[in-house]
Structure 1
Amino acid sequence: MHACCMKGAANVNNAADWFLMIAAGGLIAVWLFRRFYVWLHEPPASRVYRLGEGSEPDPGDETVRFLTASGYEVVSGKHRVPIEIEVDGELMQSRLFIDYVAVKDGRTWLVKTVRDRMPIDWTGAGVRDKFLVYALLVPSAEGIVYADPRERWLRTITFAIGTEA
């Protein structure tokens, strides 16, 4: 090929290379922006507890039978949530227990059962102090079902944070 034709072919290849590089760079920039945007707007994963496999619910259990009769499908039994607390540099251990996880109408509910030695103050502050921690711990749950299978009653508790009454 003649020298002047070779120079023109090199310019065409050079322009195509530049176009591909700019297109690839643009796609990478868009992908990075989207990942940053999603990361910025999602809750920190380290503060959201993901429920693992709880114990298998016992179909003969009084609470499981009561929840089933009330229209809930009990999908797992007791969940133990370990908590590490640090106060002035001193580490302490604690835990929370979720008695059951149940589903009704496609919505997941955390279930706490009545404990005789732990009465509930049915005021806004009392309910908040007792149950808000569970709603914040598992925000994907619809709310909390507080059940008393012996007396045959249950209450559903949901929280709307940041709304004025």
Structure 2
Amino acid sequence: MVVSALLIGYWAYRAFYNWLHEPKGLKRLVLGRGEILAPDDPHVLFLESHGYEVISGKHRVPLVVDLDGKEMSSRLYVDYVAVRNGDMYAVKLMRERQPLDWTGSGLRDRLLVFHLLLPELEGILLIDTEDNKIRTVKFELNEEPKMKEA
């Protein structure tokens, strides 16, 4: 009984210690099923023709932004979630009214939020409907910056 009490006490201490030291405000997004997929959705058919399985439709994630004590509402959109070879991807449709800056900082500013909120993603697929092209964006957090050799 003494050994059992010691084990339970140690387990309770470790649980409390881990809870006390976990990062404040650590939040991650868990996507549900999303909208129902239409069987003739051209974007779904396009992804399937490239070997992806679309597992869920559009997700709207409501956000509240606090700016100097004034709350504003916003939304984060994921158009689809797709899987290929066991890897999961968020899918975004490229829109003419929201052009994308194809630089490292432009991609970071626009898409890094998906990588941070959904760490199980392998990357983000961007569907360019005008060029019938799928572009894949992946983020890797480097521990140390790479130095260029002279």
How would you bin the TM-score normalised by the shorter chain?
A: 0.7 to 0.9
Match for residue 12 of structure 2 among 14, 32, 52: 32
Structure number with the higher helix fraction is 1
Match for residue 148 of structure 1 among 113, 128, 139: 128
With structure 1 as the length reference, what TM-score do the two structures score?
0.79
Deviations 1:65-116 (A, max 9, x none): 1100111000011000000011111111000100000011111110001101
Higher-Rg member (1/2): 1
Displaced runs of 4 or more, over 6 A: 40-45
Percent of paired sites with the same residue: 46
Partner of 2:51: 71
Partner of 1:13: none
Q: Kindly report the root-mean-square deviation, in angstroms, between the aligned alpha carbons of the 2 structures.
A: 2.1
Match for residue 53 of structure 1 among 33, 50, 71: 33
**Structure 2 unaligned spans of 5+:** none
With structure 2 as the length reference, what TM-score do the two structures score?
0.86
Question: Given the alignment of the two structures, is residue 139 of structure 1 paired with residue 107 of structure 2, yes or no?
Answer: no
Match for residue 110 of structure 1 among 75, 90, 114: 90
Partner of 2:101: 121
Partner of 2:138: 158
**Equivalent-residue separation in structure 2 for 1:142 and 1:45 (angstroms):** 24
**Structure 1 unaligned spans of 5+:** 1-19
Structure number with the higher strand fraction is 2
